[in-house]
Amino acid sequence: MIAEVSVFDKLMELVSQSWDWLKPFEIVLAYEGGILLRLGKYNKTLSPGLNWKWPLFDYAITCHTVITTMKLPSQMLTTIDNKQVGVGCIIKYKIVKPRDYLLNIWDSQDVLRDIAMGAIKGVITRQTWEELLKAEYDTEGAVLHEVRQECGKFGMRILKVTFTDLGIIKTLRLMTTDSSNLFEDKSHG
């Protein structure tokens, strides 16, 4: 009797794990978008609601498409007039093309972070500190434009770039005369 229960439990576990491949439909939630792969290749884009699919041949992948934000790590940059500045930023975005988002990039968080941080570096390092402070030059707008252009190729719509920190910083650098001798054992004469 115990062996029969164990076999039945294993069978139920197998059916449960295979359900995604066996069910003839995919339900995409209201805050999601998705794609359907047929035999591993893109077949169609899924919209919220009930979507039909061929069991065993089709596989659905979904992603959240609602607005979200990402806080970027702070950067220490040098302006064109040699001022050291610290920059903190938040990016507000949403997914508008699930196909491009799911199939054209691997780690979307890394891609967005790297593109945004590169754009911030480019905009900040091309200006003087005084230009960064002037209201006429929209630094956030310039970063938004650059990030929007790059991320649009990956199905993301960048809605806003907000600097949370922007200020002059002081850096401290430690220097030694010969770093190759720092770990040398001098106890053996």
Residue with tokens 């970027």: 72
Q: What is the mean pLDDT of residues 161-173?
A: 87
The predicted model scores a pTM of 0.79
Mean pLDDT over all residues of the chain? 89
Q: DSSP letter string over 18-45?
A: HHHHH-SEEEEPTTEEEEEEETTEEEEE
* Predicted pLDDT at 171: 74
Write out pLDDT tens, residues 82-137. 999 999 999 999 999 999 999 999 999 999 999 999 999 999 999 999 988 886 67
CA Rg, the chain, in Å? 26
Q: Distance between CA 27 and CA 33 in Å, rounded?
A: 10
Which range, of 10-19, 54-63, 123-132, 171-180, averages the lowest pLDDT? 171-180
Q: What is the mean pLDDT of residues 44-68?
A: 96
Q: What are phi and psi of 147, to 5 degrees?
A: -65, -40
Q: What is the mean pLDDT of residues 44-49?
A: 97
The domain locations on the chain are 2-64, 68-168
Q: Does domain 68-168 have CATH number 3.30.479.30?
A: yes
Q: DSSP letter string over 108-175?
A: HHHHHHHHHHHHHHHHHHTS-HHHHH-SSS-HHHHHHHHHHHHHHTTTEEEEEEEEEEEEE-------
